[in-house]
Amino acid sequence: MEGAATSKHINITSPILILLLFSILVITTTAIGTATTLTQPKTSSSSSPAECTYGIYVQTGSVQRAGTHSVIGLSLWDESGSQIAIPNLETWGLMGPGFNYFETGELNIFGVRGPCLAGGVCGINLTSDGSGPYHGWYCDYVQITSFGLGIDCSQQMFHVEQWLARDEPPYQLTATRDLCKTATTALPSYSKSI
């Protein structure tokens, strides 16, 4: 058909392309800013901790009513029990202004800059505040890539496959996935909120 507009879509499902896109957005986006550390680890050194970038990919399920308008938080930790808490993931979103996060079947990308953990991320705790007209949320998975200057890059996939809802099993607003080799059931040695 003459004069018809054609559109080309780029398939960005490749992890390498997603990481490249994420890296470009982190470098060029000023909205991310620097993470605010509310609680610092107790150390004898006066130097500030190294800063890392955490690429967080969250896949909402495609089951009916899987999306949410609730506030979703995420805590992540390493083998040593060092922890970073992100009370509202949406504030770190890279999908653009006014984007509707956590919609049914959607993959959302977040870029968080903050202090480096001592090791790779091996545990997460997702939380929902249960607010809004669509309060239940089904999360398929969370994938976290972390990197920083002079720090080994790490990547970890967490299969959540669970509702965070009061009206769907398991009837709770949290989901924890702990892949750490050591037991991290005790309180972490320190916590950082960003």
Q: Specify whether the CB–CB gap between 166 and 173 falls below 8 A.
A: yes
Residue with tokens 């398991």: 170
Rounded CA separation 59/3 (Å): 38
Output the average pLDDT for the chain. Answer: 78
Rounded CA separation 103/110 (Å): 15
Rounded CA separation 13/87 (Å): 27
The predicted structure's pLDDT at residue 194: 61
pLDDT-derived band at 50, boundaries 50, 70, 90:
confident
Q: Stretch 39-50: mean pLDDT, rounded?
A: 44
Report the DSSP beta bridge partners of residue 111. Answer: 55
Answer with the residue of higher pLDDT: 149 or 54.
54
Residue 71 has pLDDT above 90, yes or no: yes
Q: Which residues contact 108 (CB under 8 A, 6 or more apart)?
A: 57, 58, 59, 60, 93, 95, 101, 102
E strands, 10-136, in order: 51-60, 72-77, 82-86, 107-115, 123-128
